[in-house]
Structure formats: C-alpha cells, structure tokens
C-alpha cells in the first residue's frame, strides 16, 4: 500500500481528486489524500505545505494551476515552475515529491469534451462554443490560454452558468479519465508517474 498526499489549490481540485483519481489509483493500491491550501499558491506557501505533508505520506505531489501561481516571472514555464517547487524543499524529502503544475488551469481539462460541458451546464449551443475554443488551440485543452480575460475558467464563467466547485468536478466526472488523458498529455504524464508508485 502506498500513501500519496496531493497538495491542491482549492476545493474544486480537492473534489476532482476524490471523484476521479482516488477510485482509479486505489485499484493500484495507491491511497490518495488531497489536501487543499485554499488558493493563493506561491512558492513560499508550497514549500511550507510540502514540508508538513512529507512526513505523513510515502509520496507527495502537487496539483496547482499555472495560471493562478503567484510570483511567476515572465519567462516562467511549466517545467521551470515544477523545478522551483522541487528545489524549494529540503533535499532529504525531494525523493518523495512529484511536482505537477496543470496548464493553464484545472478548467482546461474540461475542454477535453465540449459535449460534457454542454451536458452538465445544459446549454444547447455550448457544444459548438466549446468546440470552437478547442479548435482555436489545435484541439489541445492544455493550451487554452493564460490570461485574465480568456483563461479557461474565465471563458466558462463569462458564457455559461459555470460554478467552479460544483460544475468543474461534475463535468470532469462525465468526461472520465480516459478521455482527459487522450486529450491532455501533461495530465496524462503526471498520472502515469503516479500509477508507477505502486
């Protein structure tokens, strides 16, 4: 049995982990506990959180949005941010850490299925709307962009009745892990690393 602690940004991500990742990973004898830091993700907060989690779990990982990460430099990338997370903690616990940053935010994963967005949010034309956004980013949900006006969550909030903590996990449940993994290579790579912990 492997005990895995996942430091997550907030209640939406926590519910997503409980609904989709916990059941999937438990089949591989990996028992997942999401622990929310309730927003305002920064390197200092992450360092403190991971230090606390490291002594309670066999392995720890992160699930934070690139979009909302505070204190990023202009040239920051997913890889540089994940490296900074790893380097921020003491060397003796680094071997337990799999740092992960979601591009550009959790809601990007939802664009894996315009049909699921339309189904859960009950909007007849939402399928066409979400499909056109996906096409704009080469059918890659993880490229839906990093901007205050046009980040995935901002798009959903502007054009639908989207409520983050309720609808986000519900849409992801309707999509399912297999479809998300097909559409989102960064997310798939992370989940593959977690599966290998068993």
**Confidence (pLDDT) at 12:** 96
99 lies in the same domain as 188? yes
Share of the chain above pLDDT 90, in %: 97
Q: How confident is the model at residue 91 (pLDDT cuts 50, 70, 90)?
A: very high
CB 49 within 8 A of CB 37: yes
| Rounded-to-integer distance, Cα 144 and Cα 141, Å | 6
Q: How confident is the model at residue 97 (pLDDT cuts 50, 70, 90)?
A: very high
77 lies in the same domain as 137? no
50 lies in the same domain as 139? no
Q: Residues 109-150: pLDDT tens digits? A: 999 999 999 999 998 899 999 999 999 999 999 999 989 999
**Confidence (pLDDT) at 123:** 83
CATH number at residue 25: 3.40.50
**Confidence (pLDDT) at 146:** 87
77 lies in the same domain as 131? no
Q: Name the pTM for this structure.
A: 0.96
Residue 70 reports pLDDT greater than 90: yes
CB 110 within 8 A of CB 171: yes
Dihedral sign computed on CA atoms, order 72, 187, 82, 98: positive
26 lies in the same domain as 86? yes
Q: Residues 138-194: pLDDT tens digits? A: 999 999 998 999 999 999 999 999 999 999 999 999 999 999 999 999 999 999 999
Q: Residues 2-48: pLDDT tens digits? A: 999 999 999 999 999 999 999 999 999 999 999 999 988 999 999 99
98 lies in the same domain as 113? no
88 lies in the same domain as 120? no
| Domains: count for the chain | 2
CA atoms within 13 A on the CB side of 117: 29
**Confidence (pLDDT) at 124:** 82
118 lies in the same domain as 94? no
18 lies in the same domain as 97? yes
Q: Which domain holds residue 149?
A: 107-181
């Amino acid at each position: 049995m492997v005990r895995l602690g996942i430091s997550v940004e907030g209640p939406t991500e926590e519910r997503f982990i409980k609904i989709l990742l916990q059941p999937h990973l438990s089949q591989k004898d990996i028992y997942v506990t999401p622990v929310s830091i309730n927003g305002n993700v920064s390197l200092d907060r992450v360092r403190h959180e991971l230090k606390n989690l490291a002594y309670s779990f066999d392995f720890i990982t992160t699930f934070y949005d690139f979009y909302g990460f505070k204190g990023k430099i202009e040239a920051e990338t997913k890889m540089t941010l994940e490296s900074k997370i790893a380097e921020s903690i003491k060397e003796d616990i680094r071997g337990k850490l799999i740092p992960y940053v979601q591009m550009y935010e959790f809601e990007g994963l939802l664009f894996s299925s315009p049909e699921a967005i339309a189904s859960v949010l009950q909007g007849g034309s939402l399928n066409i709307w979400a499909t056109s956004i996906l096409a704009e980013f080469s059918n890659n949900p993880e490229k839906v962009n990093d901007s205050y006006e046009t980040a995935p969550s901002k798009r959903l909030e502007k054009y639908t009745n989207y409520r983050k903590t309720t609808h986000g996990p519900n849409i992801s449940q309707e999509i399912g892990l297999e479809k998300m993994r097909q559409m989102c290579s960064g997310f798939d790579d992370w989940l593959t690393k977690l599966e290998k912990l068993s």
